[in-house]
Amino acid sequence: MDRERVRVLVVIGFVSLFLLLSLSPIVFAGWDEVLYSGSWAVRERERWVVNSGDSWGESCWEYDNFTFEGYEASINFTSLRSFRNWWEYQDNKRMILLWNFSNIYVYMNFLEQHNLFGYIEDRWVQVATSENSTAFTTSADFWWNPLAIQTVRDDFLNFPSSVSVVMDKISATEVRIIILNCRFDTSSDVLMWNQTYSVSADWFVHNNLTFSIRHDGYGSFYGGMSDIIYTTPFSPDYWDTEGVKGFGIWDFIDNLIGGAVRSLPVWLQDQVAMLGGWFSWLIGAVPFLSQFISVVIPILPYFLLFWILDAVGSCVSTGNITPLGVCFTTIIGLGTSVVNVLVTIMGTIYDFIHIW
């Protein structure tokens, strides 16, 4: 009798377990790498390292059939360097990250680039989102293509640096995407993207996420990501933000000056940096000088530009290159005089306070 009772209980237990598994909405989900190729020193979903020269690589992970309530990711690069041979006019190292949330795409492009034989150095992060777009791939570079989907680019990217992506369910049929460049040189995060998409209710219940990453070019990088997929409601926190700062003519001239400094010997670069520090202190110490510089300096590049254009126009109209030569020699002479004056001022201040 006891044996029959045990058999009945075992049968009832198996039937109950089968019914429970068949009716329960359990989703067995996780990250799976579905493809990879190319060269990697470290190729993990949350950590990427390449320390070789000219190379490329690509990898893709999938996370299938999950309930979407939100997503957060922080992408961090401690280093992204572009190498250049002395004879090369241009070189770059690029990292492209691409998320696909059931046909809603998030795109990021991190790049360091050298132009004019290394004289000009650029570094930026470029972002975009799109819906049902086959144009977004990890091999597509949108910054130069006028027919591409609109993107936003921040030319002020520092390392170590982090860029954050936040997606949250704001209604039964809407999802919002916010991308922030968390720059260390600003008091507020830079708001690069803020957009809302309409989706179906099924989009939240059965979502499929694909994350792809690709690198190419000549250089190295050390980067990684931490992310969370939320399957229960969450409320993201946003700090104070500011808009993307434009890259103006003064920034271009500052880049040119930076190229000139980078061409100097290391010991001389240190001296220039010291002079720059003294000059910054002097501007802050003398209010009148600070106000004068803040008013005059921003418009000087435009006078310089018009001066060069006038010299070019004179060369064209007269058929003589002399006006352009006089223009550049005068600019060089003026720059030399300004540097000499600054060096004299800094030297005088240094001699005055240097009592040890």
Residue 277, amino acid: G
The CATH topology of domain 31-242 is Jelly Rolls (2.60.120)
- Check residues 141 and 130 and name the one with the higher pLDDT: 130
Read off the pLDDT of each residue in 127-152 and give the average, rounded to a whole number. 71
Cross-strand partners of 43: 48
Task: Measure the CA–CA gap between 227 and 72, rounded to whole angstroms.
Answer: 5
Pairwise pLDDT comparison (201 vs 186), residue with the higher score: 201
Q: Is residue 119 pLDDT above 70, yes or no?
A: no
pLDDT in tens, 191-205: 889 999 999 999 999
d(CA 206, CA 63): 11
pLDDT at 306: 75
Q: Are 165 and 71 contacting, i.e. CB atoms less than 8 angstroms apart?
A: yes
- Across the range 140-144, mean pLDDT stands at 61
- The residue extents of the domains of the chain are 31-242, 249-353
More confident site: 95 or 154: 95
- Is beta strand 241-242 parallel, antiparallel or unpaired with respect to 189-198? parallel
pLDDT over 70 percentage in the chain: 64
Top pLDDT among 311 and 242 is at 311
Rounded mean pLDDT, 107-126: 79
Task: Name the more confident of 191 and 20.
Answer: 191
**18 falls in which pLDDT band (50, 70, 90)?**
very low
pLDDT at position 208 is 94
Minimal CA–CA distance to 222: which of 121, 75, 330?
75
- Tell me the pLDDT band of 318, cut-offs 50, 70 and 90: confident
**Confidence (pLDDT) at 254:** 57
pLDDT at 322: 83
pLDDT digits (tens, 9 = 90+) for 24-59: 333 335 889 999 999 999 999 999 999 877 888 999
Burial 131-142 (b: 16+ CB within 10 A, else e): eeeeebebeeeb
CA-CA-CA-CA dihedral for 135, 140, 146, 150, to nearest 10: 60
Could you tell me the pLDDT band of residue 183, with boundaries at 50, 70 and 90? confident
